[in-house]
Structure 1
């Protein structure tokens, strides 16, 4: 289980940062930054991937009630222009900026940090080791899932309420049948191929 050891090394506000949505074929990438109050840490914080949807939702509410939270988003257009790595870094930067205060340290899940002016440390497997990163993983995941449910209502047929834009069989089948939507990542190979097939069919 994650603990508060990474944060406790520093005197002052420490932010944990994580993202959701690097791998999907559709939708933005979302990052969250969380500064936990040492006297009000919700019980049960863990890597969002090991929590049930109901538990994640409850923990998100608890986090928003007693922590400082910032959310940053990089759009599909930015993903296609910058590539997913640098779009993720952009979303993380926006998340820390959205905190409204300057942390003395930013702990980032993964093996690299964005190019920014805050002192920072990359923590491999951080969402399972560090409480503030675990909290950020929950907030980012819940925020993005909510966006994908909204997009599913706007562009039905791809199954985004359940697959959240990942390359599930139902999504890939719909992509072949319907073609890419406005929020598909055209720089990703399956989407690019579906677009080419659609254009060839129209030309024919």
Structure 2
């Protein structure tokens, strides 16, 4: 028997999560993932609880097993224009659109549903409780970390590969010394 609000057998469930809401620099990235088998990849959980090497291993396993995966993002200028919450919602909507298919159910980590995804179910702590959301958390984090490593090469001296744009003492000192880079969020206080 299927409980109310639960997908039926064989239903395609997409998990959606983001990475990069809090940094001073770089995009916010979102991923949407439909797993072919919900529990086929062991070890999926909130990406923040995993070491970088383990996230990379799980990313490969998730992509090898996923029925569909999509990525969306919002750059610093969009974050500055609409605020990080709205930019995150846009990134999530773009990730779902990039799936290239319509899932039977959408599950989003957190308590804020994007206006463009009215059918989505919000689950607080979903990245640690739901395998599809956890998979999305991992993909978004790995992709965003890779982008920040690329930005470290394009904009040397900020340490983006190490701190991923978060407001560490090293990062704040680099901004004082070099000024903001093109990927810094001007609406975030950089001191």
What secondary structure is seen at the aligned counterpart in 1 of 2:78? helix
> Offset of 1:39 from its aligned partner?
6.8
Q: Is the 8 A contact 1:104 1:119 kept in 2?
A: no
2:6 matched to which residue of 1? 9
When you count helix as a share of all residues, which structure comes out higher? 1
Q: Is the 8 A contact 2:128 2:134 kept in 1?
A: yes
Deviations 1:1-45 (A, max 9, x none): xxxx99x92132111000000000000000000111127721111
Larger Rg: 1
What secondary structure is seen at the aligned counterpart in 2 of 1:61? helix
Q: Distance in 2 between matches of 1:126 and 1:110?
A: 7
Over aligned residue pairs, what C-alpha RMSD do you find? 1.7
Q: Distance in 1 between matches of 2:44 and 2:135?
A: 6
What secondary structure is seen at the aligned counterpart in 1 of 2:16? strand
1:198 matched to which residue of 2? none
Q: Is the 8 A contact 1:103 1:118 kept in 2?
A: no
Q: Distance in 1 between matches of 2:65 and 2:156?
A: 36
Deviations 1:75-119 (A, max 9, x none): 111101010000000000000000001112110000111012552
Q: Distance in 1 between matches of 2:53 and 2:184?
A: 27
Structure 1 segments, 4+ long, off by >2 Å, are none
Q: In structure 2, do the counterparts of structure 1 residues 39 and 181 end up closer, same or farther at CA, with 3 Å as the change threshold?
A: closer
Q: Is the 8 A contact 1:76 1:185 kept in 2?
A: yes
Structure 2 unaligned residues grouped into runs of 5+: none
- Is residue 2:143 matched to residue 1:119? no
- Is residue 2:83 matched to residue 1:83? yes
Matches within 5 A, 1:1-204: 9-11=6-8, 12-38=11-37, 41-67=40-66, 68-117=68-117, 119-190=119-190
Q: Is the 8 A contact 1:106 1:118 kept in 2?
A: no
Structure 1 unaligned residues grouped into runs of 5+: 194-204
Q: Is the 8 A contact 2:23 2:166 kept in 1?
A: yes
What secondary structure is seen at the aligned counterpart in 2 of 1:35? strand
